[in-house]
Structure 1
Amino acid sequence: MTDATLPTAAATNLRRIVEARLVKRHAQEMRFRLYGRIAIIVALSFLAVLLGRIIHQGYTTFIDNQISVSVYLDPAKIDRGDLGGANYDQMVAESLLTTLGETDDEFGEKSGKILEIMSNDLGFQLLTQVRGDPSLIGKRVSVTGPVKSDASLYYKGEIKRSTPQDSRKLDDQQLDWLDKLKAAGAIKSGFNSGFLTRSDSTEAEQAGVLGAIVGSLMMLFVTAFLAVPIGVLAATYLEEFAPKNRWTDLIEVNINNLAAVPSIVYGLLGLAVFINWLAVPRSSPLVGGLVLALMALPTVIIATRSALKAVPPSIREAALGVGASRTQTVFHHVLPLAMPGVMTGAILSLAHALGETAPLLMIGMVSFVPGVPEGFTGSATVLPVQVFIWETASERGFHERTAAAIIVLLVFMIVMNLAAILVRRRFERRW
């Protein structure tokens, strides 16, 4: 009787131990899943806060407030022999005072205040029209242009009348004028296409990102032209042809280390080699592309080698078995099958290079460039540097444009990452 019950008791104890371990294991799995979900929620929350802050601060940049005014081109104030010598801004200011039912004082204080809420682009438009058709002198001409950035911020609610007068740039009289102009229909709001079609300017209301976009595209072209073919060929040689010895091991270790080098070091290298030694023009898309190509090269090599390793050995064996040479096997079979991974790595490395700022500051791309780059050796700026320049500006209107430029940069990054995903899905094959 006792001998028969012993196995039963042992089995029961064993079953209890196993069940206790299963309960513990399931509890660990549940905790792990919970921790993972919490981590994802926290990460998404930080991302939502970051993007929300950027969009909230920058979306108003795409709202433009334009003022229209009819200006009398007084022949007594314009010298036909020197059309550029007249003060067209003053003419616009006087016309606006007339529209508001005001008259200027003997010291010109009111016209000076008008100039603080009106962009000098209106005066430039007058000059352009007079130079194009001098017969306009003595007539009334209508011009339309942006208001000053501070006036635009008032219309957008960023500058409030409740703020003490000594704590804002616009005084109560200027705010009254802005309200009157809005009520009279002289101010119209719409989409700010000028932000995407103009280049940088010293006036916040006239500043745009066109020059930075073109400079970024030109720089990325140089980077892709150098980093992608060199990186793919280097990775192909190391993975498929190079003998496995201590020299190739040393090269592989150095490539992996170069991928982790801080980006500013590449800027110092570009300054020493490309600018000081090879005399490549400073602040040009060419030197920027060369520096970023050095930075992207290790990433392209590592991604390409990983893609080549993912190709099954049977592909190589089958090609060699039917008489293909080693070169034919690699370039006709292995590399085409690895191309989705290769292109994904290349695009992601270029997207990472697009957002770099530190190495470009080291090679002088922090300079003010008011126009579109004239060539690969001309002065240029890029989106990350443009963000840096505007954020360090003292005028409040530039801070608004900083967030808008970040939005444009994020759109570029999203498009490039989306392209990488589409390329991989389009050419991906399963074995």
Structure 2
Amino acid sequence: MASPSSTSIKAQADRRRVRVRASLGRRHLVEWLFRGAGLTAIVIALGMVVGLFWIMISKGLPAFTQATLSAEVTFDPDIITAGPPPVRESGQSEADYRAARMAWEGQVARLNWNALVEQAVRNTAPAGMEVDRRTALALVSNIDRHNLRDMFVANPHLLGRTVKVDLLASANTDNWLKGTINRDLPDSRQQLSAATRQLADALYADGKIRFTFAWQIFTNTDSRSAPAAAGLAGAFVGSLYMMLIVIVLAVPIGAASAIYLEEFAPKNRFTDFIEVNINNLAAVPSIVFGLLGAAVFIRYFGLPMSAPIVGGLVLTLMTLPTIIIATRSALRAVPMSLRQAALGIGASHNQTVFHHVLPVTFPAILTASIIGVAQALGETAPLLLIGMNAFVAAIPATPFDKSTALPAQIFLWQGNENRNFFEARTSAAIMVLLALMITLNALAIFLRTRLERRV
């Protein structure tokens, strides 16, 4: 028979086990709820990202195809009356020949190239359909007359010949055929006349108008006179120039500053002041850097507005704190034992830093640098303040030429009055920008993996 003391001890142990089980049950429930909340947050975040990409891709994909009219164009001698191009005579200087050539090209440019376009559209129309001049010119883009002129300048032997040419349909025609305009709207609210709409439907039904890949998005610059031919070439090159400037300036300066502050700088009030300001600069809104660039680089140093050199310098200032902070974090993550081992075998301080510490941190520094550059690529606010939202219909040859950038081009297209056409173009430009950023991030991951293997 058990004693009263042993019975009491057993009862206490039973109560303790009950409390432990209850406590474990509560902890398991809290852990399960925490895991469920984390998984739910991840699913919601991924769903939003997928939804964003789906909306953007579904709206942007139609912009990569564009209506094109396959027509036969006759370079009529009655219209092209500029005469044959000049031939360089013996003894004629290069300057005189160029002047004669430019005078001939000026005469060619002043010809009525719209008449050739009108004639080609009229000859392509179905039999029995009357096509007036206004209807024919509204069907195709204004860029077609310039393309025909350039074809003739490049090959004057086309005079009197008939060649098959793909004429780019106008933005309104493209909207009509893609169905981005409500066909039930009255004529007063339609962008095309009834005759032009009827002609477009007839040519599309005959297969003479078809949708082809819109190469002009990548090869042309922005255009106001011919919206259907507007492209991203100028903005893309401008962004590349800016990123080149950021890579050349921000990456070495940022990495060198971080190495000095972390490995060589004495710990005093001055370095503490610098560290505090670097951390503060990382939190400064990007628009403030735009104001700084407009005040310092444009007004004080006299650099040109809307130039990639100014945009690159502004983005360099904005990217420096990110690279410095990330590089210092990578240096701090290196175990102190590695430094002590290097010093123990007789290495100097410089040799310890550059031969032993830095190689270990190369992957992290490289990743931080490329991510900082990719972040700068998508900035818009500072570029607007230095004039890179201006309309520039040219591809910059140097970083000092006027240009725009991909984010600023997206901003301009988003506010275009022809929203039915440029809404898809805006989404397509966003897709190009994101593709460039994803490429940079993928390059960072690839290089980091390679360097980690070597280390």
Task: Pick the TM interval, shorter chain.
Answer: over 0.9
Amino acid of the residue matched to residue 23 of structure 1?
Answer: G
Matching residue of 2:253 = 230
Aligned counterparts of 2:155 and 2:48: Cα–Cα separation in 1: 57
Matching residue of 1:303 = 326
Aligned counterparts of 1:230 and 1:153: Cα–Cα separation in 2: 49
Matching residue of 2:449 = 425
C-alpha contact 2:389 2:408 (8 A) present in aligned 1 = yes
C-alpha contact 1:122 1:143 (8 A) present in aligned 2 = no
Aligned counterparts of 2:297 and 2:143: Cα–Cα separation in 1: 39
Deviation at 1:38, TM superposition (A): 1.3
- Report the more deviating stretch, 2-11 or 24-33: 2-11
C-alpha contact 1:215 1:373 (8 A) present in aligned 2 = yes
**Residue-by-residue CA offset, 1:251-271 (whole Å, 9 max, x unaligned):** 111111100100000000011
Aligned counterparts of 1:228 and 1:240: Cα–Cα separation in 2: 18
- Report the more deviating stretch, 114-123 or 230-239: 114-123
Note if 1:21 corresponds to 2:23.
yes
**1:375-394 correspondence to structure 2 within 5 Å:** 375-394=398-417
Q: Pick from 351, 374, 378 the counterpart of residue 374 of structure 2.
A: 351
Matching residue of 1:210 = 233
C-alpha contact 1:216 1:354 (8 A) present in aligned 2 = yes
* Aligned residue pair count: 426
Aligned counterparts of 2:210 and 2:243: Cα–Cα separation in 1: 38
Deviation at 1:189, TM superposition (A): 2.2
- Secondary structure of 1:70's partner? strand
**Residue-by-residue CA offset, 1:39-96 (whole Å, 9 max, x unaligned):** 1111112112211111111101111221122234444444326333222123312432
**Residue-by-residue CA offset, 1:290-340 (whole Å, 9 max, x unaligned):** 000000000000011011111111211111111111111111111111111
Give the TM-score normalised by structure 1: 0.94
C-alpha contact 1:161 1:172 (8 A) present in aligned 2 = no
Aligned Cα root-mean-square deviation (Å): 1.9
Aligned counterparts of 2:119 and 2:369: Cα–Cα separation in 1: 58
**Residue-by-residue CA offset, 1:340-390 (whole Å, 9 max, x unaligned):** 110010000000000000001111111112121110111111111110111
Decide whether aligned partners of structure 1 residues 126 and 193 sit closer, same or farther in structure 2, where only a CA change above 3 A counts: closer
Matching residue of 1:107 = none
C-alpha contact 1:198 1:209 (8 A) present in aligned 2 = yes
Deviation at 1:139, TM superposition (A): 4.2
C-alpha contact 1:69 1:92 (8 A) present in aligned 2 = no
Amino acid of the residue matched to residue 217 of structure 2?
Answer: F
Decide whether aligned partners of structure 1 residues 273 and 14 sit closer, same or farther in structure 2, where only a CA change above 3 A counts: same
Deviation at 1:172, TM superposition (A): 3.3
Q: Pick from 57, 64, 68 the counterpart of residue 70 of structure 2.
A: 68
Decide whether aligned partners of structure 1 residues 66 and 12 sit closer, same or farther in structure 2, where only a CA change above 3 A counts: same
Matching residue of 2:363 = 340
**1:252-267 correspondence to structure 2 within 5 Å:** 252-267=275-290
Matching residue of 1:244 = 267
Matching residue of 1:87 = 112
Aligned counterparts of 2:148 and 2:20: Cα–Cα separation in 1: 90
Q: Pick from 420, 435, 440 the counterpart of residue 416 of structure 1.
A: 440
Deviation at 1:150, TM superposition (A): 1.9
- Report the more deviating stretch, 143-152 or 250-259: 143-152
- Report the more deviating stretch, 118-127 or 25-34: 118-127
Amino acid of the residue matched to residue 67 of structure 2?
Answer: N
Aligned counterparts of 1:264 and 1:195: Cα–Cα separation in 2: 29
Aligned counterparts of 1:217 and 1:141: Cα–Cα separation in 2: 38
Structure 1 segments, 4+ long, off by >6 Å, are none
Note if 1:183 corresponds to 2:185.
no
Amino acid of the residue matched to residue 388 of structure 1?
Answer: F
Matching residue of 1:30 = 32
Give the TM-score normalised by structure 2: 0.89
Matching residue of 2:427 = 403
- Report the more deviating stretch, 281-290 or 199-208: 199-208
C-alpha contact 1:216 1:382 (8 A) present in aligned 2 = yes
**Residue-by-residue CA offset, 1:208-247 (whole Å, 9 max, x unaligned):** 1122111111110101111111111110011001111222
C-alpha contact 2:74 2:163 (8 A) present in aligned 1 = yes
Aligned counterparts of 1:129 and 1:264: Cα–Cα separation in 2: 45
Amino acid of the residue matched to residue 120 of structure 1?
Answer: N
C-alpha contact 2:305 2:387 (8 A) present in aligned 1 = yes
**1:263-274 correspondence to structure 2 within 5 Å:** 263-274=286-297
Matching residue of 1:145 = 167
Aligned counterparts of 1:421 and 1:73: Cα–Cα separation in 2: 55
Amino acid of the residue matched to residue 285 of structure 1?
Answer: P
Deviation at 1:138, TM superposition (A): 4.3
Aligned counterparts of 1:52 and 1:89: Cα–Cα separation in 2: 41
Q: Pick from 270, 282, 289 the counterpart of residue 305 of structure 2.
A: 282
Q: Pick from 35, 46, 59 the counterpart of residue 57 of structure 1.
A: 59
C-alpha contact 2:79 2:115 (8 A) present in aligned 1 = no
Matching residue of 2:347 = 324
C-alpha contact 1:125 1:143 (8 A) present in aligned 2 = no
- Secondary structure of 2:151's partner? helix
- Report the more deviating stretch, 62-71 or 31-40: 62-71
Matching residue of 1:159 = 181
Deviation at 1:149, TM superposition (A): 1.4
**Residue-by-residue CA offset, 1:107-146 (whole Å, 9 max, x unaligned):** xxx3213222211222122222333455544443433221
Aligned counterparts of 1:387 and 1:152: Cα–Cα separation in 2: 20
C-alpha contact 2:135 2:193 (8 A) present in aligned 1 = no
Deviation at 1:183, TM superposition (A): 2.8
Decide whether aligned partners of structure 1 residues 311 and 295 sit closer, same or farther in structure 2, where only a CA change above 3 A counts: same
Aligned counterparts of 1:282 and 1:197: Cα–Cα separation in 2: 24
Aligned counterparts of 1:88 and 1:47: Cα–Cα separation in 2: 48
Note if 1:372 corresponds to 2:395.
yes
- Report the more deviating stretch, 85-94 or 368-377: 85-94
Matching residue of 2:96 = none
Aligned counterparts of 2:156 and 2:253: Cα–Cα separation in 1: 58
* Structure 1 residue runs without a partner (length 5+): 105-109
Deviation at 1:20, TM superposition (A): 0.5
